[in-house]
Homo-oligomer: A and B are copies of this chain.
Amino acid sequence: MDEVKVIEIKKSIFADNEQDANNLRKELKARGVYLLNLMSSPGSGKTTTLIQLINRIKGKIRVAVMEADIDSDVDAVKIKSATGIPSVQLHTGGMCHLDAEMTRQGLDNVNLEGADLVILENVGNLVCPAEFDTGAVRNAMILSVPEGHDKPLKYPLMFSVCDLVVINKTDVLPYFDFDIDKCREYVHMRNPKATIIPICAKTGEGVDALADWLLAEVKNWKQ
């Protein structure tokens, strides 16, 4: 069966997370490893999106995944069995976010020699994870159609810190009052430079564009 390594993450003792995150980024740059921090609400489709995405890029670059969760290892098991790539589960023990030191504890359990890209699936939460730099090269977030297009108004920091906003579950657009143009406008109000990619992780629609974005990012980072 698909057994995954489960890491119990300890609370950080470092006071200066910003400095620590910058150090981690520098170390990853030196090793040629790109770290993506993926955030979202619970149930927006992070894991399904990752499976679609990884199956498109795993032949081109070497990928590893860290799945943060308060409890359970369902996500890491799902990723491993659906993509075959190495996946570790990080248990935060009730903590609502990951900072750079906690991310480092996870990375200590990833074979970085064998990875061009490590994706960190952060705890499902639109508030706290946005406050902590994990040391990732980029922050990405998934907003799903059922959550509503007004979320950038209500969770300003999350949308300010994200370089990429993926709009997921576009297949159910006909059943929800979700205005995708308004959503773009609100996202760009928070971060004018944010890239926005609409997808449907269930059917795979739009995931090629997401894969292209990420492959270009990783290539650029490794130069």
- Find out whether the CB atom of A71 lies under 8 angstroms from the CB atom of B153: yes
Q: Does A146 contact B (CB under 8 A)?
A: yes
Q: Are B42 and A157 in contact (CB under 8 A)?
A: no
Q: Can you tell how many copies of this chain the complex includes?
A: 2
Interface stretch, picked from A9-17, A25-33, A121-129, is A121-129
Does A7 belong to the interface (CB within 8 Å)?
no
A-B contact pairs, 7 of them (CB 8 A): A43-B144, A43-B146, A70-B155, A74-B150, A74-B153, A96-B125, A125-B125
Segment 113-141 of A: residues with Cβ below 8 Å from B: 123-128, 131
Give min CB distance, A136 to chain B, whole Å. Answer: 20
For A74, list chain B residues within 8 Å (CB).
150, 153-154
- Top 4 nearest A-B pairs (CB, nearest first) are A43-B147, A146-B146, A96-B127, A43-B148
The reply to whether A71 and B172 form a contact with Cβ atoms under 8 Å apart is no
Residues of B within 8 A of A5 (CB): none
Report Cα–Cα, A42/B199, bound state, in Å: 20
B-contact bits for A144-178, CB 8 A (1 contact / 0 none): 11111011011111000000000001011001100
CB pair A96–B128 under 8 Å, yes or no, is: yes
Interface size class of A (residues with CB under 8 A): 35 or more
With a cutoff of 8 Å between Cβ atoms, the chain B residues found around residue A109 in the complex are none
Q: Is the CB of A72 within 8 A of B41?
A: no
Q: Does A69 contact B (CB under 8 A)?
A: yes
Find chain B residues with CB under 8 A from A175 CB: 171-172, 175
A145 to B146, CA, bound (A): 9
**A28 CB → nearest B CB, Å:** 27
Contact A94 B131 (CB under 8 A): yes
| B144–A70 CB distance below 8 A | no
Residues of chain B with a CB closer than 8 A to A126's CB: 42, 124-125
Contact for A146 among B128, B153, B172, CB less than 8 A: B172
Q: Are B169 and A146 in contact (CB under 8 A)?
A: yes
